[in-house]
Amino acid sequence: MTMEQLVLAGAPELPDGWFYRVREVYDVGFKVEIRERTRFASRKMAERYVLEHGFDDMRTAVVDACCRAHRSVTAEAEMREKFRALSAFLGDHDGRRRG
């Protein structure tokens, strides 16, 4: 199955250079990873297990795992952006001192 087929089935589109990887985890089941290509390999951005017991159609189960992994990546990016915005407030804020 290609990325385009996953997206057509309902998985979120990923930014350029990112891709989904479905892996079998020994004695556990399957998981979906969102990965970002690097110069020589790739790095894992998020992962979620496929919950096959909750679905009759395994394509839907994989798409569900893709969606959950995407929500995780999005939430982490939003949190990083909030921390970046908070850095503007670093330092002392003493109203008694006039500079």
Q: What is the residue-averaged pLDDT of the chain?
A: 93
Long-range Cβ pairs for the range 21-27 (8 Å, 24+)? 22/50, 22/62, 25/49
Q: Which two tokens stand for residue 41?
A: 């390999």
In a domain, 95, yes or no: no
Write the pLDDT tens digit of every residue in 24-41.
999 889 999 999 999 999
Write the pLDDT tens digit of every residue in 48-74.
999 999 899 999 999 999 999 999 999
Q: What is the pLDDT of residue 99?
A: 56
Q: Which two tokens stand for residue 68?
A: 């959950």
At 18 the three-state DSSP class reads strand
In a domain, 19, yes or no: yes
Amino acid at 2: T
Q: Residue 7: pLDDT above 60?
A: yes
Of the candidates 56, 58, 39, 3, the residue with the CA atom closest to the CA atom of residue 70: 3
Nearest-Å Rg of the Cα atoms of the chain is 19
In a domain, 23, yes or no: yes
Number of structural domains (the chain) is: 1
Which residues contact residue 5 at a Cβ distance below 8 angstroms, ignoring those fewer than 6 apart? none
Which residues make beta-bridge pairs with 46? 34
Query: Which domain does 51 fall in, by range?
Result: 3-87
In a domain, 22, yes or no: yes
DSSP state of 53: G
In a domain, 93, yes or no: no
In a domain, 69, yes or no: yes
Question: How large a percentage of the chain has pLDDT more than 90?
Answer: 81
Q: What is the pLDDT of residue 47?
A: 96
Please state the pTM of the whole predicted model. Answer: 0.82
Q: Residue 97: pLDDT above 60?
A: yes
